[in-house]
Amino acid sequence: MTDPVRTARHACGPLALALDRSRRTRALAVADIEEHLADDDLCPAATARRLGISVRGLHRLFAGQERSYSATVRRLRLEQTLRDLRDPARRHLRVIDVAADAGFADVAGYHRAFRREFGRTPAQVRAGAGLRNPR
């Protein structure tokens, strides 16, 4: 008679290794996104190329996660602008410049995304208005 626990461990070993590899590669993808956040050419193809994986493989890394590749990029860019808007050393920059520095090309889209994510406009944050707890 075979031991079901031993059988399960044997069967799950490769799966656990694959999941661990996926987690590590996803973490590398997020680190790459952070490093290239302001790049004009930040896109799935560029990230995948730098990681040595296919675009489809990159999207698979984010499948089933809280955020897709694009949503991760958007969230990281929004967080960057939030830090910049609160930074006294960057107070001289216009909101449009803060958005552009983080890689947002569409100012209206940036304002909508910022308000949806943080519950306030960039100008309100800069003026010191409180934020709801970010997601």
Each residue's pLDDT tens digit, 12-24: 555 444 457 888 9
pLDDT score recorded for residue 20: 75
Nearest CA-CA partner of 69 in 49, 47, 41, 100: 47
Distance CA 109, CA 67 (A): 18
Domain boundary among 32, 48, 65: 65
pLDDT score recorded for residue 41: 86
Give yes or no: residues 56 and 86 share one domain: no
Token digits of residue 129: 């208005």
Give yes or no: residues 12 and 55 share one domain: yes
Using CA atoms of 34, 37, 41, 47 in order, give the dihedral in degrees to the nearest 10. Answer: 10
Whose tokens are 């930074």? That residue is 87
Give yes or no: residues 18 and 49 share one domain: yes
Q: At what angle do helices 44-51 and 55-62 cross, to 10 degrees?
A: 100
Token digits of residue 134: 């970010």
For the chain, list residues with pLDDT below 70.
Answer: 1-19, 129-135
Give yes or no: residues 84 and 117 share one domain: yes
Whose tokens are 């006294």? That residue is 88
pLDDT score recorded for residue 21: 82
Structural domains in the chain (count):
2
- Which helix (H) or strand (E) is 51 found in, with range? helix 44-51
